[in-house]
């Protein structure tokens, strides 16, 4: 019983700390569909949206995914709830605008995939998976294509092609 109580207390403290670390800032630039620059107190922060992956810029639907994100949040005040820091020192976060979770909205509109390798927070990730399935069945956004490739598949395929044909692709940072 004592162990259960201690575990519950730890979970409550962690949840409180996570929400206490949330902050607001202004989106000054959308780098691509799932990466943004946010200004807070005179400082810029690169934010990577948690749990999702949008097509790369040169990938089919990549530019459209960027436009969806820009239309939703560019030059707007957003709430940032940090979840992690990636290997490129970007803040990986849940981003909310007007009470709507941008991460979820992008999946819902067919502009992003659930990124199961990095999406661990439940029940959010189950919800994102359901949103993806719904967008897929309605053939929204990137799902209008017959067989869209995830960004990781697309990068692997294009890396092989560029090795053979000496075509150089601009590579975006991965997380």
DSSP, res 147: S
Return the active site residues: 48, 56, 90
CB 113 within 8 Å of CB 107: yes
Number of neighbouring beta carbons within 10 Å of residue 118: 18
For the stretch 88-98, what's the b/e string if a residue is b when 16 or more beta carbons lie within 10 angstroms of its beta carbon? eebbbbbbbee
Q: Up-side HSE of residue 42: CA atoms within 13 Å toward CB?
A: 0
Q: What is the CA radius of gyration of the chain?
A: 18
Cross-strand partners of 37? 29, 46
Question: What does the alpha-carbon distance between residue 129 and residue 109 come to, in Å, rounded to a whole number?
Answer: 13
């Amino acid at each position: 019983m004592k162990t259960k109580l201690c575990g519950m207390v730890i979970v409550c403290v962690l949840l409180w700390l996570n929400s206490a670390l949330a902050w607001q800032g202004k989106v000054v630039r959308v780098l691509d569909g799932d990466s943004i620059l946010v200004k807070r107190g005179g400082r810029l922060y690169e934010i990577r949206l948690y749990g999702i992956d949008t097509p790369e810029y040169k990938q089919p639907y990549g530019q459209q995914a960027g436009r969806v994100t820009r239309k939703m949040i560019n030059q707007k005040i957003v709430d940032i709830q940090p979840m992690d820091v990636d290997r490129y020192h970007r803040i990986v976060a849940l981003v909310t605008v007007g009470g709507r979770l941008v991460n979820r909205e992008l999946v819902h509109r067919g502009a992003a995939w659930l990124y199961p390798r990095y999406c661990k927070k439940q029940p959010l990730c189950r919800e994102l998976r359901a949103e993806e399935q719904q967008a897929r069945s309605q053939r929204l956004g990137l799902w209008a294509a017959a067989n869209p490739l995830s960004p990781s598949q697309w990068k692997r395929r294009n890396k092989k092609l560029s090795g053979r044909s000496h075509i150089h692709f601009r590579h975006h940072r991965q997380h």
